[in-house]
Structure 1
Amino acid sequence: MPAPTMAEAFVVRTAGSVTRVRLPNDFGTVEIPLPPREPPQTVQIYLPEHVELVIDAITPVGGDIAPAPRGPRWVVYGDSISQGWSVTEAGLAWPSLVAESLGLDLVNLGFAGSARGELLTADAIGGSDAAAVAVVWGTNAWSSLPTDVGQIAETMRVFLTAVRQGLPEVSVVVVSPIVRPDAEDARNRFGATLSDLRGALESAVRRFAESAADTRITLVPGLDLVPAEELVDGIHPGDAGHRSLAAGVAPHVAAGLELLAENRRQ
């Protein structure tokens, strides 16, 4: 499901520069001018989300095209918040900000209206050959398809078990739900508030890490990561909120990667 704030355009980003190129009316050939830059700088081109595109060929005009250098693969699993549902343009969602700041190769598994600890996704993450993982879900488990504290805790345990079966050594950062003012103290049909569900998720992560003596799982409590005034609709962060979320998560991702590198050197 495409984010409603995304324009039907290619977004071209490099350090200090953003340009947009609208889709051609005939969906044929489109020429994308690249911004002036130093030769080593990477250019990122985001495809429009609202249309399905098939790219037949890429042809350089007046230069060459070379693959961008790959950083460590970082897989992020979450809901519309991780997808970037309410940012003003592509590249401003918190996973993109963290990946850019740390030089990571991002795989964003942010699914609007979903992300309730689906086992199929946990298996996909386990088979992704990622160097690091972020697991960020729980908000949608309060509404739409609600659950209670017992089920959400068990779902998190099974989800982390499946991820660890495929990726036994990598850093996993788990972020519990950010603030949602209308849900914090309101009970869903099974009697659970978002505060209850957040607490159950956090306890489940701690128990899992402790029972397995797994020092590579880091819990980041989400409640205070994004101020309520940085939510654009009471649920989704705006650009400022995504910057706040990225600032709160990035140090833990960096620390996990450094720990993994240190262990490999020993």
Structure 2
Amino acid sequence: MTVQSKDVNLDKLGGTLYPETKNSEQLRWHSPLEAPFHIAGFPWLAEDGIYRRLPLASSEVVPPAVDTLAYCTAGGQIRFRTNSSRLVIRVRLAGPANMYHMAPTGQCGVDCYIGEQGEQNFITTAKLKPAESEYESQLYHWESPREVAVTLNLPLYQGVEEVWIGVDQDAVLSPAPAYASSRPVIIYGTSITQGGCASRPGMAYPNILSRMIPMEFVNLGFSGNGKGEPELAQIMADIEDPAMFILDYEGNTGKSENIAGTLPAFIQILRDRHPEVPILVVSRICTAEDQFYSERRELNDTRRLIQIQNVEQRRTEGDQHIHFVDGSELLGNDFVNDCTVDGTHPTDLGFLRMAQSLAPVIKGLLQL
């Protein structure tokens, strides 16, 4: 006997996936591009007025793929205080969710944290229909007004064209809590830096670090395209008053001679403009697949040694502000098997382990 399976629709079975936002017309709507909101993660927002991680106009020509990926809002955060009893968000994306190995909430969603800097607690993620590129979602609803500091993490793998914040008609909005330092930490890297494949935006490792270390983190991870082009170094060097540069791009470099050729030039461009800003070079993490492919392990070992040698040579030459972290140790040996979605890209557990390993190093270098 053949038994035909049935489509499971939780909306019809009582397990509502997409609850309606009731009475949203009673709210007052604000653009986070206006005061008193603070938007982090987009160094060129003031000039360009859009949610984009690289400048629209630059003398440096970046590869087309990087230019496209710059519209993904990975690392972008909206920060503010409010005493509203309700918080609702409206988002218009450049496109819908379309990745097989990443949750739509991570690719296209917005998640919400409540609390002061360094004491933020996750409350919820926006509900969205993966096939649609616009959504409205309630993030919380108290019984009475309550003043809280809010951090909203923007989508990791999709562009955001518009965001609107809905609060009570009589709600007070005020500036976000101050950072420990006004200087940003800039992280350059691959899809893993960008946040693939976190289940929601707040679980990408740069966003986790931003909660552990109350500073602005600028996420310049470009999926499949963190290749160390000098044009990217020049653009990064233009960011005003950086606290630190983190280079985590080995995973996209391919043959060992590629990183051997790009890393010295990339570092030198940053160092010429910022002589005393710490530069942290992070080698590639170990992944579940590595244990089964000896050639891959050998390649990783070779590329790691190249990075170590570059850092040691510069330190020997007098640059005491450059440092190295062995990425193969970030996940911990006991966690590698269960730390990736597809054998390569971290799960939330993997990203948490990365951040927990990196945070003490970063704090030490920043003297926090």
- For normalisation by structure 2, the TM-score amounts to 0.60
Distance 1:10 1:111 in 2: 19
- Contact kept, 8 Å, 1:6 with 1:48, in 2: the verdict is no
Distance 2:103 2:133 in 1: 23
Equivalent in the alignment of 1:219: 324
Percent sequence identity is 24
Deviation at 1:19, TM superposition (A): 1.5
Equivalent in the alignment of 1:5: 103
- Contact kept, 8 Å, 1:123 with 1:166, in 2: the verdict is no
Equivalent in the alignment of 2:286: 179
Q: 1:33 to 1:176 in 2, by over 3 A?
A: closer
Equivalent in the alignment of 2:228: 117
- Contact kept, 8 Å, 2:109 with 2:201, in 1: the verdict is no
Deviation at 1:157, TM superposition (A): 0.6
Q: 1:183 to 1:113 in 2, by over 3 A?
A: farther
Counterpart pick for 1:96 among 207, 214, 221: 207
Counterpart pick for 1:84 among 162, 172, 195: 195
Unaligned runs of 5+ in 2: 1-68, 73-98, 115-119
The residue type paired with residue 198 of structure 1 is: R
Distance 1:117 1:138 in 2: 9
Residues 148-173 of structure 1: CA deviation (Å, up to 9, x unaligned): 34x42231110000111222221221
- Contact kept, 8 Å, 2:185 with 2:217, in 1: the verdict is yes
Equivalent in the alignment of 1:194: 300
Distance 1:96 1:222 in 2: 18
Verify: 1:47 aligned to 2:154, yes or no.
yes
Equivalent in the alignment of 2:243: 131
- Contact kept, 8 Å, 2:103 with 2:199, in 1: the verdict is yes
Distance 1:57 1:64 in 2: 16
Matched residue SS, 2:199: coil
- Contact kept, 8 Å, 1:156 with 1:205, in 2: the verdict is no
Deviation at 1:10, TM superposition (A): 2.6
Matches within 5 A, 1:64-79: 64-71=172-179, 72-79=183-190
Q: 1:170 to 1:23 in 2, by over 3 A?
A: same
Verify: 1:248 aligned to 2:248, yes or no.
no
- Contact kept, 8 Å, 2:156 with 2:194, in 1: the verdict is no
Deviation at 1:118, TM superposition (A): 1.6
- Contact kept, 8 Å, 2:255 with 2:299, in 1: the verdict is no
Distance 1:251 1:126 in 2: 25
Q: 1:110 to 1:176 in 2, by over 3 A?
A: same
- Contact kept, 8 Å, 2:125 with 2:139, in 1: the verdict is no
Q: 1:101 to 1:147 in 2, by over 3 A?
A: same
Residues 115-144 of structure 1: CA deviation (Å, up to 9, x unaligned): 111211111221112111211111121xxx
Matched residue SS, 2:161: coil
Give the paired residue count: 248
- For normalisation by structure 1, the TM-score amounts to 0.81
- Structure number with greater Rg is 2
Equivalent in the alignment of 1:203: 309
- Contact kept, 8 Å, 1:183 with 1:194, in 2: the verdict is no
Equivalent in the alignment of 1:155: 262
Unaligned runs of 5+ in 1: 262-266
Deviation at 1:55, TM superposition (A): 2.8
Distance 1:205 1:160 in 2: 9
Distance 1:125 1:51 in 2: 22
Q: Which has the higher strand share?
A: 2
Deviation at 1:184, TM superposition (A): 6.4
Counterpart pick for 1:166 among 249, 265, 273: 273
Residues 162-212 of structure 1: CA deviation (Å, up to 9, x unaligned): 111222221221111111406863169xxx72221121122112212322x
